[in-house]
Amino acid sequence: MIVIPALDLRGGKIVRMERGDLATETVYADDPVAQAKAFVEAGAKRLHVVDLDAALGRGNNLSVIRDICRAVSVPVQVGGGIRIGQHVQARLDAGASEVILGTVLVDDERVARYIIGQFPEKIIAAIDARGKQVATHGWQESTPVDRDSLVKRVAGWGVQRVVFTEIRRDGMGEGYDIQALREIADAAPEITFTANGGARTIDDLKLLKKDAPAAVDSCIVGSAVYKGTIKLDEALGALT
Active site residues: 8, 128
Residues 6+ apart with CB under 8 A from 36: 7, 47, 68, 71, 72, 76
> In degrees, to the nearest 5, what angle opens at C-alpha 50 toward C-alphas 39 and 55?
165
Q: Are 46 and 29 in contact (CB under 8 A)?
A: no
CA distance 67 to 57: 21
Closest CA to 91 of 123, 120, 117: 123
